[in-house]
Amino acid sequence: MSDMEGLYRSDDGGESYRLLAAELPQLNVFGLASDPQNPDKLFLGTHRMALVSEDAGESWQALEDTLTYPIQLIQVNPQDSNHVVMALSSPDIVDLNDMPKRVPEYAHGDTHPGLVFVSRDGGQSFTQYFYDPEHEKAQNAWQLEFDSENQRVYIATERGLFTSRDGGESWAPVTAPSGFVAALGFEVSPDGKTAFAIFAKDKQVSSVFAADAKALATGAPQWSRVDHFYPGPQGDVELAEQRLAQPGETRTEYDGETYTNPGQRYARLKIDPRSGKVEFGLEGRVRLLMGKTMKHHNSSLFYSEFDVADGVPQRGNWQRIYYEGGHKGWETSQGSDNYIQVDSFDFVPVSWGRDNSIILENGHGVSLLDMQAEGFPKTGGETVLYQTAVREGNGAQGHVTWRNRGFVNTYNGDFATSENYFVAALSDQGLHESWDYGRSWIRDLRPSPKITASKSVEILKTEPPVVVLGTGYGYGAGDIPMGLWAKSLAHHSPEDKWQHLAGGIAEWTGPDSENANGLPSVPNHARVPMNEEAWDYRIWAMAADSQVPERLFVGFKGQGIYVSDDVPAMLDGEGDGFRRLDLGPVELPKTSLVAHPQKANAIYYPTGSSLFLYSDGEKREVKRFPGLVEDVYAWLDGESLRLAVAAVNPDDASHNVYVSSDGGERWHTVLDRRRLREAGVPSFFETPAYPREDPLMPFMGGLAGFNEWLIVPVGSIRNNLGIFAIHLGEGADRPAVFNITGEGADRHGYTRVNEGEVRWVKGEPWLVHSTRGAGVVAASLVVLQ
């Protein structure tokens, strides 16, 4: 599951993955459960609804009773497949489609009164109930569990632990340990004898407890705090008295390594289904995994084994087994900082025959941990199930690069290529580079470890070529821009080294980098994450002059457009640097700066609802559109200059695409809602989940032109309607629109496309898409020739 790419399935143990997206209307998915008695029947929770599949994800049907609701927690009764319970999650801090505003229960933002959905007919219909009798507004429900042995359902939430005796129709609060309120996790051992729960006092202090499950079911639990530290293989007495670190506390582990809790509570529990069973050597023992609350990085995974032979355990043996740091020998494709984000985890199913293995999602993909590996958990034990290490023939001698297995998960803003060298600018990871035509990638040759975000990249076709990267420090929407870096591609190998080029922040890019070479630096007071003033200093787009290869235009989100006439000279410490163009206020969308294909010193750029042309010191408005312009593309079809613009059309309640075949004199609408429907769209289009008035659906962006064709991706931040090819051979006033999304393993099912370009690779034209949530994807355009 992913938050922007939907659902992948592997049928060969992680050797390859296939995107399941043909009729999946919501690619922001966060809950998945299968029917224990019919594993091919899946229930999926998404940002706007729950869906059911009867064929292991090949096709999906929306559950109408859940439309518009963000569903995260799903459980099917192990003893009754007709009995399904679902619970709401809190939506993202900002739901980019504003859907919760249309749900009465979310009237006050990201809190809700505690809704659950219960089905008694296998998911055909659901009835809503409240687990909180007071209907108090609060946030996350963390875990939903059936206790089949004691005929109970439990839900752990920020407002406490609740239980139901009637399958989820009525609920009662469970008595928490003294001083604790919120419940952040809950599990019951397979034999139904021992319950484990995570309780929190507030937004800081949390701990794990155990109780007799039968006593809990009758309403009389006696909780024992079991958060003791692992004393090491020698049973260190002092370590055995320590407890798990609370926020700000530091602990020293048995091998002398220390760690400090960065401010996270403990959350989510998973019990090994083999616990207590003689055939697995676990008689009288329970194995338990525990995560943490932080969504982004440094969210460690913990493990403990409990002795339950004599009843409720009185202590734990918790140790970190997966975490950030770069010292453990974990494999990673993500480079030098060993970024870890443990969002989901579990012991592998018994049917796999791997009785000491853990599977987890680590923020980049899926990994398998072998608890019996030599040195575990301090070194080794990890098998990456989504990428393959490439040590030879990767164009990067001496470096390990990584080849994807079809599972893609990077937030890509832009890309560029030169011969065998491919570079991708990533909002959350800085950049990835490839020296084997994009087959395998590496991140740990970034020019600085501080570069963890990038929005744009361009390659100048000089001799040798020069790659220029816009950089930032931070992640996603919270990064702090830190100027341009560049390098000469003299070798098209890792021998080429990055240098700071312009702009920058002294602390990170050197004392002489502030406002260097004419590019503005972020003001001191705005150098904090999520500062809106800093956003204006993001380098949103770059464009290389089509006639003068040394010239580069650089567009900021809100600080105007700059130009340098000789970037290679600047890289050598010479030249005049950048100068700001006198264009007045400019507010650029992403990757929307386009060089004129025929003229020197000329670019097309949008601001507001207008498209402008700058040429040799003069600007003119080419066209004003009905609404905000989001993307621009210019290309040559023979001698004809074609322009394409994606802009909001309020009357059509969507983006429309407009094309001019005469340099901007006459314009025609070539793609709108009507033409989308005629070409073929998924069945969820214009349904209650995606109504006509949805402000960001459909979004058209990532335009790319090739001869008489224009290719347009259509979707939104959280879904994909398809890829459409528009044939302009009969004229822009008579376009023919084709759905070229593809099927099965060849389907393009990814979310919003930030950038689309035609690139020639080994003499063959390829369409390359830089996607919001799925990295870089490509397809050959030979078929269109």
pLDDT at res. 497: 97
Report DSSP letters for 387-418, one per residue: EEEE-SSSS-TTS-EEEE-S-----EEEEEEE
Q: Which helix (H) or strand (E) holds 198?
A: strand 194-200
Distance CA(146)–CA(167), nearest Å, equals: 9
pLDDT > 60? residue 70:
yes
- 191-240 pLDDT, tens digit each: 999 999 999 998 889 999 999 999 999 999 999 999 999 999 999 999 99
Q: In what order do the strands lie in the sheet with 776-780?
A: 753-761, 764-771, 776-780
Sequence-ordered strand ranges (E) for 189-318? 194-200, 206-212, 224-225, 250-252, 258-260, 266-271, 285-292, 301-307
Q: Could you give the percent of the chain with pLDDT greater than 70? A: 92
Average pLDDT (506-520) is 94
- 736-770 pLDDT, tens digit each: 999 998 877 777 877 778 889 898 888 899 999 88
Q: What is the dihedral of CA 102, 105, 106, 107, to 10 degrees?
A: 80
Residue 588 is encoded by which pair of tokens? 């650029």
pLDDT at res. 522: 97
Distance CA(192)–CA(148), nearest Å, equals: 7
Beta bridge partners of 33: 43
Q: Please answer whether residues 123 and 43 qualify as being in contact, where contact means their C-beta atoms are separated by less than 8 angstroms.
A: yes
Which of the residue ranges 82-96, 439-453, 618-632, 646-660 would you say has the lowest mean pLDDT?
Answer: 82-96
Q: Which helix (H) or strand (E) holds 508?
A: helix 506-509
Distance CA(198)–CA(143), nearest Å, equals: 10
pLDDT > 90? residue 14:
no
pLDDT at res. 458: 97
pLDDT at res. 247: 92
Where does the pLDDT of residue 168 fall: very low under 50, low under 70, confident under 90, or very high at 90 and above?
A: very high
555-564, 698-707, 741-750 — most confident range: 555-564
For residue 658, report the phi and psi dihedrals to the nearest 5 degrees: -120, 145
Average pLDDT (484-511) is 96
Domain annotation for the chain: domains and CATH numbers? 1-133 (2.130.10.10)
Q: Please answer whether residues 638 and 729 qualify as being in contact, where contact means their C-beta atoms are separated by less than 8 angstroms.
A: no
Distance CA(633)–CA(644), nearest Å, equals: 5
Nearest in space to 75 (alpha carbons), one of 113, 111, 40, 117:
117
pLDDT at res. 152: 98
- 3-state class of 744 per DSSP? helix
Alpha carbon of residue 590 to chain centroid: 18
pLDDT > 60? residue 717:
yes
326-340, 370-384, 546-560 — most confident range: 546-560
- 621-637 pLDDT, tens digit each: 999 999 999 999 999 99
Nearest in space to 460 (alpha carbons), one of 545, 580, 518:
545
Distance CA(697)–CA(654), nearest Å, equals: 6
Where does the pLDDT of residue 111 fall: very low under 50, low under 70, confident under 90, or very high at 90 and above?
A: low
Where does the pLDDT of residue 297 fall: very low under 50, low under 70, confident under 90, or very high at 90 and above?
A: low
**253, 487, 500, 509, 512 from 503: Cα distances, Å:** 43, 15, 9, 9, 9
pLDDT at res. 6: 81
- 306-335 pLDDT, tens digit each: 999 999 999 999 999 988 765 454 555 444
Q: N- to C-terminal Cα distance for the chain? A: 36
Average pLDDT (282-310) is 88
pLDDT at res. 356: 95
Beta bridge partners of 286: 306
Residue 461 is encoded by which pair of tokens? 């076709």
Q: Please answer whether residues 27 and 2 qualify as being in contact, where contact means their C-beta atoms are separated by less than 8 angstroms.
A: yes
Distance CA(280)–CA(64), nearest Å, equals: 43
Report DSSP letters for 144-189, one per residue: EEEETTTTEEEEEETTEEEEESSSSSS-EEPPPPTT--EEEEEEE-
Distance CA(563)–CA(594), nearest Å, equals: 13
Q: Around Cβ 173, how many Cβ atoms within 10 Å?
A: 17
Alpha carbon of residue 714 to chain centroid: 19
Residue 580 is encoded by which pair of tokens? 């700001």
Average pLDDT (71-75) is 93
| Residue 561 burial (10 A CB sphere; 0-12, 13-18, 19+) | buried
308-317, 384-393, 435-444 — most confident range: 308-317
Residue 233 is encoded by which pair of tokens? 């293989």
pLDDT > 90? residue 694:
no
Beta bridge partners of 315: none
Distance CA(711)–CA(701), nearest Å, equals: 10
Instruction: Give the pTM.
Output: 0.88
- 3-state class of 374 per DSSP? coil
Where does the pLDDT of residue 154 fall: very low under 50, low under 70, confident under 90, or very high at 90 and above?
A: very high
pLDDT at res. 102: 54
pLDDT > 50? residue 187:
yes
